[in-house]
């Protein structure tokens, strides 16, 4: 259980650091993605981008 929690936090830290480059690729700007500005900070919830990337990676895994 602790391993999954640690993995989640590391992945979140890496994605947060890469966010400016991911926005340039179009990830986070799809119709199902949500951005919320709260107390001077902006929080991103890329629901549709996550779904699309998950389906793409699943397809690649099945082909290999």
pLDDT, one tens digit per residue, over 4-47 is: 777 777 776 777 777 778 778 777 778 888 888 999 988 877 78
- The CA distance from 19 to 5, in Å, is 21
- The CA distance from 10 to 63, in Å, is 28
**Residue ranges with strand state E in 19-62:** 34-38, 41-45
Instruction: Please state the pTM of the whole predicted model.
Output: 0.60
- How many other β-carbons are positioned within 10 Å of the β-carbon of residue 46? 21
62 φ/ψ angles, rounded to the nearest 5 degrees: -70, -35
Q: Model confidence over 37-63: pLDDT tens digits?
A: 999 988 877 788 778 878 888 889 899
Both structure tokens of 39: 């107390």
- The CA distance from 19 to 36, in Å, is 15
């Amino acid at each position: 259980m602790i391993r999954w929690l640690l993995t989640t936090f590391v992945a979140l830290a890496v994605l947060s650091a890469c966010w400016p480059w991911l926005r340039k690729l179009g990830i986070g700007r799809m119709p199902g993605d949500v951005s919320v500005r709260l107390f001077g900070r902006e929080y991103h919830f890329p629901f549709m981008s996550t779904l699309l990337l998950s389906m793409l990676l699943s397809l690649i895994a099945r082909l290999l």
